Amino acid sequence: MRLSRWLAAGSAAFVLAGSATTPQSAQAREIVGFAGNYSSGTIVVKTNERALYYVLGNGKALRYPVGVGRAGKQWTGTAMINGKQLRPAWSPPAEVKRDKPSLPNVIPGGSPSNPMGAAAMTLSGGEYAIHGTNQPSSIGGFVSYGCIRMFNADVLDLYSRVGWGTTVVVTR
């Protein structure tokens, strides 16, 4: 099932007021030295480091800790951000529903049980997103079905920095 079907957000997805998500510290992100042949504004996810880099240019990047795909769920490649939603609703894909049949068909945006957290940026290809989380303790682990998880404060920061069409490169 395509991620666009998972995110059944409607207009409520674009409202931040009244968020039921717990705020996390924004201190996790930091500006670091960064080598690589990437243009400013590119997002680079290094799954082995469990880090997402937002390339600033001049040998610098903003580094965020992330949770990445668990064994057998990791992927590599290049995608583009093709959607942005605040407080997205979530419908578990078939694979997740198979593993956790008690999940409801839709979890409303802003619900404490919604695993998408404060914001989501969908990636071209239709399967994955960079998103917040309702489980901040999962950040830094191999924990997802392939999506990139961030602290809610960090995903909101990144969300404000990027637009549709931003290149996302996922490496090991």
Active site (catalytic) residues: 131, 147
Of 134, 157, 162, nearest in space to 64 by CA? 157
For 115, residues 6+ apart whose C-beta sits below 8 A from its C-beta are: 90, 107, 131, 133, 134, 135
Q: Residue 96 in contact with residue 107, Cβ under 8 Å? A: no
d(CA 132, CA 142): 15
Three-state SS for 5?
A: helix
102 Cβ neighbours under 8 A, 6+ residues apart: none
Q: Which residue has the tokens 């991620």?
A: 3
Inter-residue contact 81 to 121 (CB < 8 Å): yes
